[in-house]
Chain A
Amino acid sequence: MESLVSHTARINDQLARYGVKFGIYKNGVFNERLFPFDAIARVISADEWRGLERGLIQRVDALNAFLKDVYGPQEIIHDGVVPEDFVLSSPGYLASCIGLMPPKGIYSHISGIDLVQSREGEWFVLEDNLRVPSGASYPLIARALCRRCSPDTYRQNDIVDNRGYGSMLREVVDNVNCGGINVIFTPGRYNAAYFEHSFLAEQTGAVLAEAGDLYVENEYVYYRGFEKDQRVGAIYRRISDEYLDPTTFLPESVIGIPNVMSAYRAGNVAIINAPGNGAADDKGIYYFVPKMVEYYLGEKALLQNAPTYLPFYPDDLAYVMDNFERLVIKDTAEAGGYGVVFASNMDSEAREELRQKVLTNPRRWIAQEIVDFTELPVHLAEGDVLRKADLRVFVLTGHETSVWPSGLTRYSREAGNAIVNSSQGGGFKDTWILSH
């Protein structure tokens, strides 16, 4: 790994040249920022990975079953496992999707599951991302550059090849294609993950399309080609549900595909991931995922959640009020590292204010014990330092569910900070899965 680490600066230069950036909106101004890469990879042993893999497949299969259920018969509600309120008052639960079955019944084709490892080595799921999880392209391209800089590193270590992501993704999209070409639909170059959209189009052989490139007529979606228009059978869309179709969702959206929901409703196009998935990756629903595994699969959940309390339940509310200053409080209405606060870091006035908010609207909040998660070495010119890091693993559901043997390890910018989201200014690492 030393030879590889010595190339850190060159690899970062290459990443910048390739345009590996992410964009961020701050105070209404769009800035593109480089996503710093640290060459010291996170290493996961074969045994450990096998355990994670089984747990992740189980979790995603249960989440898919849950989505099919809540937009259909709602048995999990009738059986009292998940309270009706948590499903139906979730902003991600879309009434327009009730009774609509996506092609082959798959809702979450690409799931980004965020994990952390405690200092004792135990893994915990922090978050499920079932809407438009991004990030797979970063370790993919970083690995390719690293291999070029230091090919020996990959000959001497038994690292599972991660170059199959494009073909895995393609299989997932082809599996639900309803006839026609595959497109990756991007909101355009001012999106945080635009680099990734174009990279994935290249990797999967799909057409990269923006608003205006697609139109809907008589329940079919078409791509405006140079010579003739082509029917579209699957759309891997990289925009959120609200902006997807202005005649169904937000009317002011100019980055969507008007009437695309009519083609979807008619079963003529697959939308990846399915609209309405926000009902299952709500911060409040997270609490129930291990229960879903038991309910739908009849198995004990192999992966555990971080210890979580729902103030919605009176017992949990009492606990949260008694232990407020040592918990992480999360706003279920916010995403991406926003609305996450460590009560211990607040001044007493702000903390009291938040406590009142939780008391008046308990349904909106969850509280978690702080998982003291591992720090990984990060290489700096002045020497290696330790930073908290998480791991986003990509779980793909096609004919069956499988886990991409790689992942995006994100580390925080400052020492001690436990918020690693790229939108909060951290960097990333490659994740090596060892083959034995």
Chain B
Amino acid sequence: MKLLDYSFSTTIDFSSPVRDHYFVLRCMPSPSHTLRVLASNLVIEPEMRYVRQTDSYGNLMAVGRKAEEHARIGYHSSGTVRIDFNWAQPDVPHPIFRHSTPLTEPDTALFAFADHLGTVEDPYDVNAVDNFCLHAMSGVHETMVYAPGTTTIATTAAEAFAAGRGVCQDFSHILIAALRQAGVAARYVSGLALGEGQTHAWVEASVDNFWYGYDPTRNQAVDETYIPLARGRDWSDCPVERGSFVGLVDQIQTVHMSVKEHVEQ
């Protein structure tokens, strides 16, 4: 069991004012069997009305609108969560997590890579599936070079794999492609992790109907120091912010985040 304090802010500065700004944020931890939200606070500046909703994946969203002109928007999400893997419950994966998406569709090279990883010996044996996922995770980690700035949010798994470099999003897409190829249901997770200075991404795979986390960027199994914010088939289901506004502008985005172990006061 871990108690974690998190703090996560995003500020977007527009080069000139925008109006009729609608947004959907996925920047709050969503409660699950293993994650209990003890405190959660979301401040949006300038002040805007918003409602909390849950999407089809169970992700908590803040949905709102600012009609008046503004040149900056800031979201500050903070709180405390309690994560305990002993509370894990079985969860039959939706079959959608077995199908590829435009961002995770393998090409010939990625097919070959997935093939080379081998197969799950016994899909009903927890250890066999877990070992395969760990093996695939290390495979991705060893093949890829971590190189920020070389890819974008639109880079596909196949493109990043061909370039041999990328960031946590690309590593995760490649691992998802490989796992789905082996018949393992896999989903993308965006979130925060202890010791990371930026939002992070990793993969969850369905192991005997339990979701196990794998972090191909750090080459480690996900433990209780990871805070999921959103889950989906790939990155496009989990953006921290989606917006639509009127205005032809440049945007500069600044992100600050921290995760610390909670200390009782």
Contacts and interface: CB of A to CB of B under 8 A. Distances in A.
A84 B22 CA distance: 35
A13 interface: no
Given A98-B56, A218-B51, A247 B96 contact: no
B243 interface: yes
B95 A84 contact: yes
A88 B65 contact: no
A247 B95 contact: no
Nearest to B54: A265
A218 B49 contact: yes
Contact of B23 (A84, A89, A99, A247): A247
B53 A265 contact: yes
B51 A248 contact: no
A247 B243 contact: yes
A247 B242 contact: yes
B96 A88 contact: yes
A85 interface: yes
A95 B233 contact: yes
Contacts of B242: 247-248, 251
A262 B49 CA distance: 14
Interface in A164-199: none
In the complex, the 6 A-B pairs of residues with the closest C-beta atoms, listed nearest first: A258-B22, A98-B56, A258-B244, A246-B244, A262-B63, A247-B24
Contact of B55 (A89, A96, A215, A218): A96
Contact of B56 (A84, A100, A217, A246): A100
B95 A262 contact: no
A246 B242 CA distance: 9
Contacts of A265: 53, 55
A354 interface: no
A216 interface: yes
Interface in B23-67: 23-24, 49, 51, 53, 55-57, 63, 65, 67
Contacts of B100: 89
11 contacts: A74-B95, A89-B100, A98-B94, A217-B49, A247-B243, A247-B244, A251-B242, A259-B63, A262-B53, A266-B51, A266-B53
B56 A262 contact: no
B72 interface: no
B56 A97 contact: yes
Contacts of B98: 84, 88
